[in-house]
Structure 1
């Protein structure tokens, strides 16, 4: 049984993460330095995307005054999202099935999806925003709430 109660579904995908990148981030190394040194670590891209979105007034930006930080966040989040997809596939994920939030090493990918959703909504890319929400809900129904969506 999957962690979401589906008897016929695939088992949860649990990423192994990047211990060095995660440790560096926890020890205060700049996320850009970590991303440059460990470009496959979604968690570093999540830190960059979330920092770029920090303090952005979503409603003002959505009204047409889009700060460059939102575009940067979109790019960071998309990079982390794609790096996360690569990792998920290496761990046997077939594009569906649980990717539990509670598994800490999955959070970099899920946080990137959340940041991508927020940035997409701000710039008016509604289809991308909805795709990201669907992906978060498919991965773990609690993920959207955990990333602030």
Structure 2
């Protein structure tokens, strides 16, 4: 369990913030995303392969997927890895996980991507669950700066 506190506020449920990734890992992903389009997906995949618990890596890999099924798979892995990370940070299945905290964005980006990919492959019930979950986690969803 993490030593990171879960804040309780008089205005609502507790809020959880995922522990931030190391700066070097964030820089590796940023560098991969800056490569020419023909190299970008493979470079992001290499970052994810070296760091399979990196949530934003999975989300970005889903965004760069070659087809809807590949996108769905990458986003789903990011989502499930994210649930694990949230639990490690003290989340117990309820409370806010807001976009305002940069460290939460990989998880939320993966969940949003899963919603979109589920819609594209015709899994409407999954897309609806994801959309509802996003609004429960962050009542201000969707953010203006989603990408």
Q: Same fold (TM over 0.5)?
A: yes
Task: Give the distance between the partners of 1:90 and 1:105, measured in 2 at CA.
Answer: 14
Q: What does the per-residue CA deviation read over 1:2-21, in whole Å, with 9 as the maximum and x for residues that have no partner? A: 49x31xx22x1011132233
Match of 2:105 in 1: 107
1:16 matched to 2:19? yes
Q: What does the per-residue CA deviation read over 1:93-134, in whole Å, with 9 as the maximum and x for residues that have no partner? A: 011100010100100000000000000001110110011011
1:40 matched to 2:53? yes
Higher strand share: 2
Task: Give the distance between the partners of 2:9 and 2:26, measured in 1 at CA.
Answer: 27
Task: Give the distance between the partners of 1:142 and 1:45, measured in 2 at CA.
Answer: 23
Deviation at 1:145, TM superposition (A): 4.3
Equivalent position SS for 1:25: helix
Alignment of 1:121-136 (within 5 A): 121-136=119-134
* Candidates 82, 91, 94, aligned match of 1:93: 91
Aligned residues: 129
- What is the Cα-based RMSD across aligned positions, in Å? 1.9
Deviation at 1:28, TM superposition (A): 2.5
Match of 1:57 in 2: none
Deviation at 1:22, TM superposition (A): 1.6
* Candidates 19, 27, 32, aligned match of 1:28: 32
Gaps of 5+ in 2: 1-7, 34-42
Gaps of 5+ in 1: 53-67
Q: Report if the CA contact (8 A) 1:116-1:132 is conserved.
A: yes
Q: What does the per-residue CA deviation read over 1:27-48, in whole Å, with 9 as the maximum and x for residues that have no partner? A: 2272101110110011000101
